[in-house]
Structure 1
Amino acid sequence: MLPICGKCHSAIKTRPSSGYLSCSGTCEKRFHFKCVDVPESLQEQLESVPGLNWKCSDCLKKCVSFDSDSLNVFLGKKFEEMVSNLKEVFSDLKTDLIKNAERQIKDTFMEPEPVTSFSSILKNKTKPAVIIEPKNPEQNFAQTKTDIASSIDPANEKIQIAKVKSTKNGGMLVGCLSSDQNLRFKQLAQEKLANSYVIRELNGISPRVRIVGFSQKYEEDEWVELADYMKSVNNSIFNVSSSCKILKFWATKKKRSTYQALLQVLR
């Protein structure tokens, strides 16, 4: 059966001399040259140039047309957005890399922070201090600090301050490195600030320590000697000027042949 022309709907002879061409679009129809008004010059090119295609008017209408200038503007904006996104990604990546590098350097080369030992905490808490509180209940800590600083010169008195902190009612706690310096600071405060302030000494806490592992029971009349011995073998815990006493001595619950003692640290 002979193919039909997509334009005139008559049969198309398949001999080359019949003069027809096939649409390369979606319809895949055949047309007489004369029916589609194809110039002779184009006919020759279609026949002689391999890969040169032709589409009928109906298939051309189905093709999407565009304005080249508008397309270039659109593509340009998309390109700028892509570049901006890439810059943001690289910036975040750079920041993360720097932070990771700094963290690795710190972990590798920085010295670890010292761990506060039980003995250092105990020594600090058992040290005495002086509390200076204003008689005026409306006075704040800033005024108290100013008055103390203008009245007492620690450097001139050769007093080394170990700790300073605010207390309630606008007061100030001052602790020195030694008991002698602490006593000297208290005397100076009483001489120069007693009219407007109440000065009192804080002797520090008296912590209790439970020691487990005694293999024998000690009677109460032996506790003083035992306490002195415990201080001598635990000098890393107790201050030189401090002392201790045994409050209780009893057997452990799990093992009745093992004993424990409760010590109280004193100044």
Structure 2
Amino acid sequence: MASGIQACARCSDNFIVNTKNISCDFCKKLFHHHCAEVDDKLAKVKRDCAGIKWFCSGCLPMINGKLKMADFGEAVFTRIPEKSEVKMVSGSRASRSSASVPESDLAVLEKEIECLVREKNLIDKIANERGYIVEIQKKLISDLEDKFRSQPVGNSSKNKDCVSYSAIVKKMDHSYLLIKPADRSTSYKTVENDFKSRYSPGALNVNINKTKLTKNGLMISCNSKKDVETLKDSLKSDLGNKFDVCEPTKMFPRMLIQGVPNDCFKNPGADKLEFVDSFVDDLIFNNNLGVNSDDIKIISCYKVKNTKNVVIEVVPSVFNLLSSKGFVFIGWVRCTVRENLYLLRCYKCCKFGHGKKDCRSKDVVCSKCSGFHEFRDCKADDSCCPNCKFHNDRYKTNWCTKHVASDTSCSYYKMKIDNLKMQIAYE
């Protein structure tokens, strides 16, 4: 036998490769893996981990009978088992280290458990509220589907009265409730914070569409007038005299009369136009409107080239009549009339609802390319509407942005027009 080469203690084969053998940690004899019935991969684990011991079948009874396993380390293996059944026999040092836990660590664990319990209770509460909201949404979807199924079905060329699902959603009756402070010195922001800290959407038991802080107070939108009445009664009895809860009154529709003749004004060439006293009475009489002069209110008038336009506010019956006709007679002059929906647009941030002097934005936004510069300084070739871009980024929509902010086909502009129409009493 060559020097430095040991034979397998079981088969007496002189040829043992270092990576294909395993040694007993007591007798130090070498064994082939197959002779020791040890898998190659598991034997490698024993070689790489100094704390793992393996004993051959001849030494194992002696270890169990006369010596303590703890003397050989914290982890002792009588054999290299399969991966699924690796079992470690812990020595005295491991047992003592796991059994003794400092009191400070126990206190920390108890506090962590208390925090977890509170988090669980909070999550359960939120889950219950979300569950209620989901049930409301399911009921709402079910009602919409019933309305959709009740519509006539057929070829669109034969049946033009068929209403789509989206059209039904857009025609839903969204009603509003306004909450104001009884003490006028209290800010509306304080009202919003107080209300939202006191109530949660699920606890109100109505179909809430959205809430918004407006210049008139905290506005709550519901999906039906019945929900508004239920919410108003509940809040009045609960809040007492601290808040004023009311339904905002809708404004009457406005109409634009184009091409009004000069004889309707006292001084047609003046900068400030004044109507003749009989203008409203003549408008009612010549068009057989059948209303009183109090039902028509002049809002404004302005010059357009060589003609003059007048904006009037009318009761719903007059609006429906004039909308169907599309014109009015002022004397013997036939003037075009249409609904006047005006949205104030800011020329600084391009948003709607305020002017440039009231804008609170720090940045100037280009109405053509959405860049942070004035429109007159824009050098971009392609258009990108800043309002549609903002809506896409915030609400993950897919609106077209290849237009300027003043385009009347803008999806954001149409949405604002629809919101404005919801505040007008057409009936």
TM > 0.5? no
TM-score (norm 1): 0.33
Q: Which has the larger radius of gyration?
A: 1
Q: Which is bigger in relative contact order (C-alpha 8 A, separation at least 6)?
A: 1
TM-score (norm 2): 0.22
